[in-house]
Amino acid sequence: MSNGVRRTPVSAEQARLYNRQIRPAVLDPNSKVNWTNTSQQPEYLVGEEALYVNPTDCYSIHWPICRGHLNIHSGPGGSLTAALVDLETIWSYAIQKLLEIPLKDLKYYRCILLIPDIYNRQHVKEVVNMLLIKMGFSAVVVHQESVCATFGSGLSSACVVDVGDQKTSVCCVEDGVSHRSSRLCLAYGGSDVTRCFFWLMQRAGFPYRECQLSKKLDCVLLQQLKESFCHLDQDISGLQDHEFRTCFPDSPVLLYQLRLGDEKLQAPMTLFYPAAFGIVGQKMTSLLHRSQGDAEDPHDEHFLLTTQSKQDQSSKATTDRKLLPKSAGFEGDSNICDPSEKGNLTQDLELGHAQAECLVGGADAEETSSALLSRKTAMTQFEGKALGVDKAILHSIDSCCKY
C-alpha cells in the first residue's frame, strides 16, 4: 500500500460464502423497459435499438469493426463489401438522426476520417471511396488517431495510449509526426477486462447466476459493473459490500447484494498481465508492416519500380551513392562507411521509399539500415506475444528514441 502497510490478502472463499446466500429483492414488478418495436419490420436498426431487439425476432446483429479493423470473417456479413455497407448504414443513420443533416446535403460538407496508427491500406482506400462516392461528401481528409489526439490535447509530443474496447494501441508522436517504429497494436481491451471480471465474480459466487456472456443485455450489465466497481487503487483492500440492479424487458427490477475483495483490482491489472485473458488462436501484438502496394494507384512506387528500365534504376542508384557519403558521418568522418552497411543502404535506396513506408502522407520515408534492422528485430521479438501495456509503452518510447 502507499503508506507502507502490507496488503492483507482476501480469499475468494470468504466472499463466496456470503454471496451464495444472497437472494434478489424485487423493487418493481414491471421494469418499464420494452423490447424494440419491430412490428413495422424495419430494414435495419442501429445503436441501442439493435441491442434491445427481442431474440425471437428475425434479426442478426453485425459488428462492422472488430479489434480496431474492419470485421472480415467467413460468416454471414463478413465480407469487405458487407462491412462497408454496414458502416455506411450506421454513419448515414447517425448523420440524419443525431446531426439532423439530410444525406442529399452531404455534397456541401467535408469530413475527416480518423484511422488507426496500424491500418490496412486497402481498407482505408475502400472506406474513402465509400465516403466520396456512396455517401457523397465533397472531400475527405485522412489522418491518424494518435496525431489528432495530441493536437486535440494541445500537445506537440506525447506517447499516446488508447485502451479501447477490443484493442489497445501505443504510439509516440513528435511535432505532429507519428513515428512508425513506435507503433504497436495489442489485441485486447476493455471487453477482455470485463470478461475477466465476470470470471472472478463467478469464482466469488456472483449472485446473478443466470448471467451469460452470450446475452447482449448481460454484457451491457457486466460493463456497467466493471466501470462502477473496478479500480487500480492499492490502498483499497479487504471485503466491501456493493449492490446492483437488473432491469430487463419483460422482467421485474431486481436488487442484488454483492461482496467483493481483490477481484476489483485483479481484473484491470490483467492489462499488465494479458496472458490472464486466455486469448488463443490470434496474434496478441501487431507492429507496422511494409506497404504491399496498390496496382490501381498510378503513383505507387512498387508499380514504378517494376516498369522503369534498368538504366533508370542504375542511374538513380549511382546518384544516391554520390549523395550518401555527404550525410553518412560527422566532422570529417563522412567518407568512412562500412562496406556491408553501404551495400545495405544502397539496396534500400534502390528499392524505393514505399517499400519501407505505408503512411498516407509518406513524410518520413527515409530510413537507415540500422532502423530497419531494429524494427525487424522488434517484430521477431514481440509480434504474436502477449505484451503488457507497461512493456508496450516502454518499447514504444525506446523505439522512438532510437529512431
**Domains with residue ranges and CATH for the chain:** 17-30+187-287 (3.90.640.10)
- Tell me the C-alpha to C-alpha distance, in Å, between residue 123 and each of 53, 74, 120, 345, 388: 30, 17, 5, 31, 28
Q: Which phi and psi (to 5°) does residue 184 adopt? A: -135, 145
Q: Are 178 and 227 in contact (CB under 8 A)?
A: no
Q: Which residue has the cell 551495400?
A: 343
In the DSSP assignment, the letter for residue 130 is I
In the DSSP assignment, the letter for residue 5 is P
**Kind and range of the H or E element at 172?**
strand 168-174
Q: Could you tell me the end-to-end alpha-carbon distance of the chain, in angstroms, rounded to an integer?
A: 38
Cα atoms in the Cβ-side hemisphere of radius 13 Å centred on 235: 3
Cell of 323: 549523395
* The predicted structure's pLDDT at residue 318: 76
Cell of 325: 557519403
Contacts of residue 178, defined as CB under 8 A and 6 or more positions apart, other chains included, come to 117, 144, 146, 147, 171, 172, 359
* The predicted structure's pLDDT at residue 372: 52
* The predicted structure's pLDDT at residue 207: 94
pTM of the predicted model, to two decimals?
0.78
Please list the residues that pair with 321 across neighbouring strands.
none
**Rounded Cα distance, 290 and 375, in Å:** 11
Please list the residues that pair with 253 across neighbouring strands.
28
Q: Are 238 and 258 in contact (CB under 8 A)?
A: no
Identify the burial level of 250 via C-beta atoms within 10 angstroms of its C-beta, where 0-12 means exposed, 13-18 middle and 19 or more buried. Answer: exposed
Length, in residues, of the chain: 403
For every one of its 403 residues, what pLDDT tens digit does the chain have, with 9 covering 90 and above? 677 777 777 888 889 999 999 999 999 888 888 999 998 889 999 999 999 999 888 888 999 999 888 999 998 888 999 999 999 999 999 999 999 999 999 999 999 999 999 888 889 999 999 999 999 999 999 999 999 999 999 998 999 999 999 999 999 999 888 988 889 999 899 999 999 999 999 999 999 999 999 999 999 999 999 999 999 988 888 889 999 999 999 899 999 999 998 999 999 999 999 888 877 656 777 777 666 677 777 766 666 666 666 556 677 777 777 776 554 444 444 344 444 444 443 444 344 433 444 334 444 444 445 555 555 555 556 555 678 999 999 988 988 766 5
